[in-house]
Amino acid sequence: MEKRFMIFVIDDLSGSGTPEEMNAINAFNDELRANGQWLFAGGLSSPENGNVIDNRDDAHIATGKPLFEAQENYSGFWLIESADLETAQRLAFEGSKACNRKVELRPLL
């Protein structure tokens, strides 16, 4: 049975990406699709656009700020399917190389 994983791209606040990195990311995406491991991927706007929403007990609170303010943040992600954690980790290494960034791998529950 296939398992699902998130690969989060970790970046600094520069938001920069070179044409070479974009080409490598596109090639990695194509590889994921060809192998049936692609589910979805996308980039995220900078943390300054974050807004923590809390409506527990009808509080209707919107902070207008991200949950965490840090130099590093999630700038994108891949949602993949993989037979096992070992394969997902291999794909995370490939994704890290493609985007030239650190990544964080997490299994979905």
Round to whole Å and give the CA distance between 3 and 88: 9
Residue 106, classed as helix, strand or coil, is strand
pLDDT for 45-80, tens place per residue? 999 999 999 999 999 999 999 999 898 999 999 999
Whichever domain contains 91, its CATH number is 3.30.70.1060
Task: Judge whether residue 17 has pLDDT over 90.
Answer: no
pTM comes to 0.92
pLDDT for 30-48, tens place per residue? 999 999 999 999 999 999 9
Q: What pLDDT is stored for residue 102 in this prediction? A: 97
Q: What's at 57, amino acid-wise?
A: D
- Host domain of residue 26: 3-107
Domain count, the chain: 1
